[in-house]
Structure 1
Amino acid sequence: ELESLKQYPVEILSGLLYLGDEKQSADCSLLREMKISLIILLSQQSMKGNQAIVNFPVDDSVKSDLYSSFERICDLIASTIDSGSRVLIASPRGRSRCSAATIAFLMKHRKHTLQ
């Protein structure tokens, strides 16, 4: 019964920025319902869909270089949000890579500290 419940991405900035997994990023009805305009996918897998998808092929490994993509990721998020559209940051499990990109955005564009 629990498997049939729809899981929604985590809302980071109210009505603007969400963090989720690959399954949520591929669910067209969920994306349409949430009015997601841009998906930032942090995965080795590429994906096609109705929404704009920008894929950063970052492997889930300590040797992966996510840092060099932060500037572009943060600027994409900022420009999309500034236009009033919604962004979903997604990775296969929706954990470490998504969180790192989200934190980078909040620190760079919203002037949050790491604490």
Structure 2
Amino acid sequence: MSGSTSKRYPAELRERAVRMVAEVRAEHESEWAAMSRVAELLGVGTPETVRKWCRQAQVDAGQRPGVTSEESAELKRLKRENAELKRANAILKSASAFFAAELDRPQR
């Protein structure tokens, strides 16, 4: 759920929606109908949002293949760390070039 137009929903709401879909599934003709009802009850923008939460919960529980939330968070952290290290390397590279040029300059 990235992007400036997406709403951020609290984790408690996402977990509650997933539980509610499981609880009300038998009362509806399809899983999608249950998700639509839960989205409506909880004021979630679209049933598709609830569907994504349910699928991610299944991945996290090992019931469905995919990248778990934990793995996704670790990947995000590593990418951020990698970008920081690249910036630090670029700074050190230009600093060492500057000092090398200073050392090569004849002294008076």
Larger strand percent: 1
Specify which structure has the bigger relative contact order, considering alpha-carbon pairs within 8 angstroms and separated by 6 or more residues: 1
Fold shared by both chains (TM-score > 0.5) = no
TM-score by structure 2 length?
Answer: 0.27
Which structure's residues are more often helix, by fraction?
A: 2
